[in-house]
Amino acid sequence: MIVYGKNPVIEALRSDKDIEKVLVAHDSHPPYQVVKLCKQKGIKLQKVPREKIEELAGTKKTQGILAIISPIKYVPPEEIFRNAIEKNSFFLVLDHITDPQNVGNLLRTCEVFGGVGALLPTHRSSPINEVVAKASSGAVFYLKLSKVANLSNSLREFKKQGGWIISVERGGKDIRSFSIPLPCALVLGSEGEGVSKNILDISDTVVSIPMVGKINSLNVSSAGALAMWECVRSFI
C-alpha cells in the first residue's frame, strides 16, 4: 500500500500500521514531524529522485514524500523464537537480501517445509510488498515475520533460549554430512556479500552445499530451499 503527501504520511506514521520505509524527494526536505516519527519508530527514511516517488504514487501531486505500508503485521522477534522452540522447528534469517522475488521464494519454501517465519534487518532488506506476497504464493500471510535493527544481537537472545544458529556459506561443513539441529535459525546471506561476519562469528555451525558444475554458485532461493530440506528431511 502506498500513501503520499505530507499529512497522509504523518498520519500513517502516527497509526499502528507497519511501514516499510518513507521516501523523500532529493530536491525537498522531509517535514520535522516525519523525521521525528521515523526516528522514534526505527523506520528507514530514504532520499530518492522525485520521479521515483511520482512513479510509485502514479501522480505528480505527491509533495515529494511517500510511505510504503507493509501488507502484513510484523511480530516481535521473541514470538518467532518461542514458536520455533515450541514446535522444534526453524526460522529463516534473511541477512540483507534485497531482491523481493528471492525473498518471496524463500518464504514460500519456508512455509511448505513447516518453518515458523523469518527475521529480517530493518535496513538493506527487501520490503515485504506485493511482489514478495505474489512470489511467496501467499505464504507471507501464514508466517511470522519480524524486523530488527541488529540481527546478531537478536540471534544472541535466541541462543540464550537454547536455539542453534546455522549459517549457509562457502567454506563450511558439507551439508550432506551434518545433521542440522532443531530448533534453529537458518541464516542466508545476500548473493553479493554472503552472510555477515558478525553473524558468522556467533554461528554454531557454518554449512556449505557442494557443487560440481562449471557455475560455482546457486541463487539464494535455491540454496535456501536445499538447506531447508536438510533441516526437515528426517521427519517430514
Given this model, what pLDDT does residue 127 score?
A: 83
Rounded to an integer, the average pLDDT of 18-43 is 89
What pLDDT score does 41 carry? 86
Three-state SS at 44:
strand
Q: In this model, does residue 88 exceed pLDDT 90?
A: yes
Q: Is the pTM of this model over 0.85?
A: no
Q: Rounded CA gap, 99 and 130, in Å?
A: 13
> What is the mean pLDDT of the segment spanning 36-59?
90
Quickly state the pLDDT bin for 17 (edges 50, 70, 90): confident
Choice between 155 and 126, residue whose per-residue pLDDT is larger: 155
Tell me if residue 157 falls in helix, strand or coil.
Answer: helix
221, 139 Cβ separation under 8 angstroms: no
- In the predicted model, what is the mean pLDDT of residues 88-101? 95
Going from N- to C-terminal start, the domains of the chain cover: 2-69, 77-232
pLDDT > 90 fraction of the chain, expressed in percent and rounded? 62
- Is the separation of the CB atoms in 157 and 130 below 8 Å? no
Mean pLDDT computed over every residue of the chain: 91
Q: For residue 64, what is the DSSP state? A: T
Q: Regarding the domain delimited by 77-232, which CATH topology (the fold level of the hierarchy) does it fall under?
A: Alpha/beta knot (3.40.1280)
The listed CATH number (3.30.450.20, 3.30.70.120, 3.30.360.10, 3.30.1330.30) that belongs to domain 2-69: 3.30.1330.30
List, edge to edge, every strand of the sheet that includes 65-69.
Answer: 2-4, 65-69, 19-25, 44-48
Return d(Cα 218, Cα 221) in angstroms, integer: 8
Q: Which amino acid is it at 67?
A: A
Distance CA 130, CA 138 (A): 10
What mean pLDDT is predicted for residues 3-26?
88
Confidence of residue 101 (pLDDT cuts 50, 70, 90): very high
Cell numbers representing residue 169 in the block? 556459506
pLDDT of residue 91: 98
Query: Average pLDDT, stretch 172-182?
Result: 92
* pLDDT for the residue 216: 73
pLDDT above 70 covers a percentage of the chain that reads 100
Please compute the mean of the pLDDT values over residues 73-86 and round it to a whole number: 95
- What's residue 211's pLDDT? 85
Q: Which of 26, 30, 39 is nearest to 5 (CA)?
A: 30
Residue 22 confidence (pLDDT) = 93
Residue 2 pLDDT class (50, 70, 90 cuts): confident
